[in-house]
Amino acid sequence: MPANPSSALADSRADPWRETLAGRYARVRKHSLALASPLSAEDQCIQSMPDASPTKWHLAHTSWFFEAVVLAAHAPGYRRFDSRFFHLFNSYYESLGPRHPRPQRGLLTRPALAEVHAYREHVDAAMQRFMAQAAMAAWEAAAPLVELGLNHEQQHQELILTDILHALSCNPLLPAYQDAEAPALRLAASTEPLDWIAMPGGVVQAGHAGQGFAFDNETPRHDMLLAPYRIANRLVTCGEYAQFIADGGYERVALWLSDGWAAVQAGGWKAPVYWIAPGDPRAPAEHWQVFGLNGVRPLDPAAPVSQLSFYEAAAYAEWAGARLPTEFEWEGAHGAPGMTQTTGHVWQWTRSSYDPYPGFRPLAGAVGEYNGKFMVGQLVLRGGSSATPAGHTRPTYRNFFPPGARWQFSGLRLAKDGSC
């Protein structure tokens, strides 16, 4: 609470940013609960693998972020809902203390879901008070962190969907997250013929600049020298990927990177992870089917292929006589005439390692751990998926996952060397 409420109120009236951010805060927080609403309490507690977290944990952790980064640091007198939650729901912030082990998040049957909801309400009330009443100095220090917290929660909103989809895929009943197809989750099919867009290369600029929000990993904006290249006007479809499978794509070692071939052998990969082969006893049919948030559906040959690892994307590109674009080629072609499906369908694997841009500096304080320390052993994905909250991404946005990750809404767009 500010020392002088009346002057703080005058501050808030002079700053429409507060109202804008407070409104966004309410909408983003409400959307997380809406995404969880089709799920039972049992659904929301399950953890199907170490990489995926329970829905209940996501709901609590996103609240923890506001509590740890904004309220505890900038709201004098803030009282924590439960001091034990500071340990339970810290994800990976070493500077904020020890954490409950990530692979054991599914063991947290307590606190109950209702307690997590109460935790969210406690944090929401404190945040709304803070945004309305904080003195100007505290507000100016905290407002960028509120913005970061909202973008952080939107990232977890996508993870709520990807993680529960993996959990439900492990259930022999193959239950749907929701039966009706929500507009936000619809994968628009493409009937565009594959075409190649010639890009001249040369010195291009990459990275974020300007006033709007961006994560630190998108900065600084810098020059890149690109050779001439061609990039596909659209994403690779399920129908095209089915041809790769039918042509023995998962059986031809020459198409695969060494680590990718090892993953194929170790995991028995024969198709994208949620594809259901004809005759599969879990959902008998004479044709390929795909398990998704709306349950088991016939494979749509025109829909972008999804839930691919980097290894599978790279093997497909090899089979197709092409390659994956670098993240800089992808960004350079964004907005080029004829370029379609850049966002809202699937994240697109690139051939770029997740590295710092020249001159990159992490944010100050605990949030410096947000991105920079993960810049090794991962690949960049660009675009945005059908599960990404509307308005969350930008052309400079850098998503990243290890090359073997198969549970995200990730597909590919092809590229080739040369301009013709």
Phi, psi of 73 (to 5 degrees): -90, -30
362-371 burial, b at 16+ Cβ within 10 Å, e below that, comes to bbeebbebbb
Q: How far is the CB of 315 from Fe ion (least distance, A)?
A: 31
Q: Which amino acid is at 40?
A: S
Give the residue with the Cβ less far from Fe ion, 91 or 342: 91
| Paired sense of beta strands 410-411 and 347-353, if any | parallel
- For residue 307, what are the contacts with CB-CB under 8 A and spacing of at least 6? 272, 273, 274, 406, 407, 408, 409, 410
Q: How far is the CB of 61 from Fe ion (least distance, A)?
A: 6
Closest to 274 measured CA to CA, from 371, 412, 167 = 167
Q: How far is the CB of 333 from Fe ion (least distance, A)?
A: 31
CA atoms of 278 and 302, how far apart (whole Å): 19
Tokens at 115, concatenated: 């307690």
Give the residue with the Cβ less far from Fe ion, 47 or 91: 91
Give the residue with the Cβ less far from Fe ion, 63 or 289: 63
Distance of CA 316 to the CA centre of its chain: 23
Give the residue with the Cβ less far from Fe ion, 91 or 133: 91
Give the residue with the Cβ less far from Fe ion, 91 or 385: 91
Q: How far is the CB of 58 from Fe ion (least distance, A)?
A: 8
- For residue 60, what are the contacts with CB-CB under 8 A and spacing of at least 6? 85, 88, 89, 111, 116, 119, 120
Q: How far is the CB of 141 from Fe ion (least distance, A)?
A: 21
Q: Spell out the SS3 assignment of 201-260.
A: CEEEEECCCCCCCCCHHHCCCEEEEECCEEEECCCCEHHHHHHHHHCCHHHCHHHCCHHH
Helix, strand or coil for residue 303? Answer: coil
Q: How far is the CB of 62 from Fe ion (least distance, A)?
A: 7
- Residue 83, number of CB atoms within 10 A of its CB: 8
Give the residue with the Cβ less far from Fe ion, 216 or 318: 216
Which residues of this chain interact with Fe ion, rule CB under 5 A?
91
Q: How far is the CB of 60 from Fe ion (least distance, A)?
A: 11
Give the residue with the Cβ less far from Fe ion, 91 or 307: 91
Q: How far is the CB of 112 from Fe ion (least distance, A)?
A: 22
Give the residue with the Cβ less far from Fe ion, 65 or 316: 65
Q: In angstroms, what CA-CA distances link 213 with 73, 150, 332?
A: 21, 11, 20
Residue nearest to Fe ion (CB): 91
